[in-house]
Amino acid sequence: MNIAVCVKQIPDPATPYTLDPDTHFVVRPDDQVLDDTDRYGIEMGLQLAEQTEGTVTVVSMGPEGTMQGIRTALAMGADKAVLVSDPALRGSGALVTARVLAKAIEREGVDLVIAGTESTDGYTGVVPQMLAELLGMPSLTFARKVEVTDGKVRIERQTANGYDVVEGPTPAVVAVTAGVVEPRYPTFKGIMQAKSKPVDQPSLADLGLDATQVGAAGSGQDITEVRPAPEREAGRKVKDEGEAHLEIVKVLEQAKVL
């Protein structure tokens, strides 16, 4: 089974990001890392590929940067990567992202597409579903367990009060939650091998897209204002020297819940 896993390189969450005051684009540092939640999708893809003697291709859109995130995915064991990286893509919204990923995936011809539920930096949380619609596939979303047998994919889909068992035919898009599997750490051998694994970098033209369909202009939305949210004032801070629980009781009394 040939599997595409969608991943995103994001600014290191340890370095907080900002918005450019003029363009309202996210200012991204060069040292982009693999979105931590993508490790679950990669691990899931690797396990299913191992069971079915298949391959894993990581597919990503975003600035090239140091490619640290893509290399991490390859070091975990993915066979190859496709990175669509064009300056015209800057400012793209979720639907443009999905369209670019769909075009890149169509070129690969895959049996299963795996994505995370949402990215850690943008979290629009709708890209996997858009991707499924564009590819004409069912979307099996919010999966906390995934199994593949005989051309069918079966998941446990989280619901507000529990979970449903959902089954569909392949090819399909599966969106996994963090926690679906325990991601492996890249081994030293994996890290060395990743350096020579192929990274395909198709241009927009290779994907049959032109610059007017993508980026901020092609995304159909415009940020008109960025402002601080009404601030919640931090209250008192007390250091526990054995009696801090009494302070909590006092606050509970003031809130009239005792």
Partner 1 sequence: MRFLIFSDGTGGAPSSTSLEMLTKARGLGECEVFFVGAGSDDAWAALGAHGASTVHHLDPGDALPAAAAAAALEGLAGEFDAVLFGLGYTDRDVAGRLAARIDRPVISNAVDFDASGSFSVVNEILGGTTQVVTTYTADSPHLVVVRPKSFVAEPGDEDAPDVVAVDPPDVGAAGSATVMERHTEEATGPKLEEAAIIVSGGRGLGEPEKFEMMNELAGLLGAAVGATRAIVDAGWVPYSYQVGQTGKTVRPAVYIACGISGAMQHLVGMKDSDTIIAINKDEEAPIFGVADLGVVGDVHDVVPKLIEALKSRSR
Q: Which of residues 175-214 bind partner 1 (CB under 8 A)?
A: 177-179
Q: With CB under 8 A as the contact rule, which of the stretches 2-10, 57-65, 137-145, 204-212 interacts with partner 1? A: 137-145
Binds partner 1 by CB under 8 A, chosen from 29, 151, 169, 198: 169
Site for partner 1 in 232-251 (CB under 8 A): 232, 234-240, 242, 244-249, 251
Q: How far is the CB of 247 from partner 1 (least distance, A)?
A: 6
Cα 92 to chain centroid distance, Å, stands at: 15
Q: Is the peptide bond before 171 cis (omega within 30 degrees of 0)?
A: yes
Q: How far is the CB of 192 from partner 1 (least distance, A)?
A: 30
Contact yes or no for 91/122 (Cβ under 8 A): no
Which value, to the nearest 10 degrees, does the dihedral of the CA atoms of residues 80, 81, 82, 87 take? -150
SS3 (DSSP) at 20: coil
Q: Map residues 50-69 to x or -, x wherever contact with partner 1 holds by CB under 8 A.
A: --------------------
- Look at the block and give the residue holding tokens 């450019």: 20
Between the CA of residue 69 and those of 18, 65, 104, 206, what are the distances in Å?
Answer: 20, 9, 18, 23
Q: Is position 19 an interface residue for partner 1 (rule: CB under 8 A)?
A: yes
Q: How far is the CB of 258 from partner 1 (least distance, A)?
A: 7
Q: How far apart are the first and last CA of the chain?
A: 58
Binds partner 1 by CB under 8 A, chosen from 52, 66, 79, 93: 93
Site for partner 1 in 112-131 (CB under 8 A): 117-118, 120, 123-131
